[in-house]
Amino acid sequence: MDTDLMERFVLDSGALIQLERGNGKMIELLAQVIEGTIVVTIPRTVLAEVWRGGPRQARLAALLKLADAEPANRVVIDELTRQRAKEIGKKIGSCGHDDIVDVNVALCGRNPSSGQVDRTIVTADKADLIRVDPELRHAISVI
């Protein structure tokens, strides 16, 4: 299946924590990624916030392995490039929300080329993301 045509999701820290805890919605999302029917993006800042290693993170580790597996692009680990760091800084200045992880998640909810909201953000905290970018209101799925 062409990954350009697949539904896209961005996972925040709360989503990955719920995956670790065995949340049914997150287990289903993982199954869809394994089946190759959806694409997920995990911002590096989110990964840094939640990764501790060990057997309690077996589901998260399985998800991360898909980032390197074929077919490629089912799991995308969003890079924290110099340009993205500057975008995060500008957004913090304009929205007043200084949580780097939340701001990066919000930025990942938009198409990098067009700037359009074209991904569903899976989160446990909708309010913070809306504070960063009110246009994400209808693109957020709370777990």
**pLDDT above 90: residue 6:** no
Average pLDDT over residues 40-44: 97
Structure-model confidence comparison of residues 1 and 67, the more confident one:
67
50: containing domain? 3-142
pLDDT recorded at residue 133:
97
At 44-97, the pLDDT tens digits run 999 999 999 988 899 999 999 999 887 778 999 999 999 999 999 999 999 999
29: CATH: 3.40.50.1010
**pLDDT above 60: residue 1:** no
Average pLDDT over residues 94-114: 95
Nearest of 4, 8, 36 to residue 122 by alpha carbon? 8
Total domains, the chain: 1
**pLDDT above 70: residue 18:** yes
Q: Which long-range contacts (CB under 8 A, 24 or more apart) does 65-68 make?
A: 66/33, 66/34, 67/42
pLDDT recorded at residue 69:
84
pLDDT recorded at residue 93:
97
**pLDDT above 70: residue 2:** no
pLDDT recorded at residue 100:
97
Nearest of 48, 23, 64, 39 to residue 100 by alpha carbon? 48
